[in-house]
């Protein structure tokens, strides 16, 4: 992310935000509501257009093509093709209610990537097993707890074999006793070397899993660095105040 800017009307949400996320690492975005964290995350896969700056994933400019000194927004089809390599998990699970867990996970590989039904279904079963839901493949979302639905959503995002995973407060809509199972799945992904950007208020997860933490406020990155440094030894008073309020 290089000097990313984004406004909604007269309100500037992102102000020249720059951040590098090395491959195979976990970056956690911390900050109060309205600080720009979720907007920044949505800009990474072009769910929100940017007003200035650049975002590159694995060297590819996201959402735009370069033509001389100018950039032009890609077509919806080209943008959709780029999104195949960027998985995203939202606060709400957004599962198809009329499909089983298995069908939710294998829908995109079949309908978007053109994989055979047999291949996609086997991969979906493997992923449901990975998130601890092998016995719930034939359950519909209404038959699953919030934590189980979120784990299905993670499996669904992984089904397209993304090179980058984005998590937008994946546990904020869950009852406290359901949070642990989702975080355990995310820890497993981190251990496997998945590149991840996570918006969360789970400070313990950030300290134990993140390679770097960026604290945002007012549309800028106030402080960024190794997780232990930012969380346990913050240099900015604004960062210290926030961490004291959420601990």
Considering the domain boundaries, does residue 22 fall inside one? yes
Q: Is 173's pLDDT higher than 90?
A: no
As a whole number, mean pLDDT of residues 136-157 equals: 97
Q: Give, in order, the Cα–Cα distances in Å from 218 to each of 12, 30, 37, 234.
A: 9, 12, 10, 18
Do 185 and 143 share a structural domain?
no
Beta strand spans in the chain (E): 2-8, 11-17, 26-30, 52-54, 56-57, 60-61, 64-67, 70-73, 86-89, 164-168, 196-199, 212-217, 220-226
pLDDT at 70: 86
pLDDT: is 92 or 219 the higher one? Answer: 219
Cβ burial of 235 (10 Å; 0-12, 13-18, 19+) is exposed
Task: Supply the range of the domain harboring residue 53.
Answer: 2-85+163-246
pLDDT digits (tens, 9 = 90+) for 93-121: 889 999 999 999 999 999 988 999 999 99
* The pLDDT value given to residue 68: 83
Average pLDDT over residues 137-152: 96
Please provide the average confidence, as pLDDT, over all residues in the chain. Answer: 95
Does a structural domain hold residue 118? yes
Q: Are residues 242 and 172 in the same domain?
A: yes
- Under the banding of pLDDT at 50, 70 and 90, the label for residue 90 is very high
Shared domain check, 142 and 29:
no
Asked if 35 and 12 sit in the same domain, the reply is yes
The predicted model gives 189-213 an average pLDDT of 95
pLDDT of residue 247 exceeding 80 = no
Give the per-residue pLDDT at 43.
Answer: 97
């Amino acid at each position: 992310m290089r000097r990313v800017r984004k406004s909604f009307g007269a309100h500037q949400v992102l102000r020249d935000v720059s951040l590098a996320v090395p491959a195979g690492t976990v970056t956690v975005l911390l900050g109060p509501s309205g600080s720009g964290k979720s907007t920044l995350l949505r800009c990474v896969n072009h769910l929100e257009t940017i007003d200035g700056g650049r975002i590159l994933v694995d060297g590819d400019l996201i959402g735009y093509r370069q033509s001389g000194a100018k950039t032009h927004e890609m077509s919806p089809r080209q943008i959709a093709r780029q999104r195949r390599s960027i998985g995203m998990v939202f606060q709400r699970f957004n599962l198809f209610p009329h499909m089983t867990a298995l069908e939710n996970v294998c829908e995109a590989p079949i309908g978007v990537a053109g994989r055979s039904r047999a291949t996609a279904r086997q991969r979906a079963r493997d992923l449901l097993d990975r998130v601890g839901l092998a016995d719930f493949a034939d359950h519909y979302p209404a038959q699953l707890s919030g934590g189980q639905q979120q784990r299905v959503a993670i499996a669904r995002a992984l089904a397209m074999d993304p090179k980058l995973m984005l998590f937008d407060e994946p546990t904020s809509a869950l009852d406290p006793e359901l949070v642990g199972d989702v975080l355990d799945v995310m820890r497993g992904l981190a251990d496997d070397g998945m590149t991840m950007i996570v918006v969360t208020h789970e400070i313990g997860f950030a300290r134990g899993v993140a390679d770097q933490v960026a604290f945002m406020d007012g549309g800028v990155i106030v402080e960024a660095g190794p997780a232990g440094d930012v969380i346990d030894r913050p240099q900015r008073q604004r960062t210290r105040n926030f961490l004291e309020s959420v601990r």
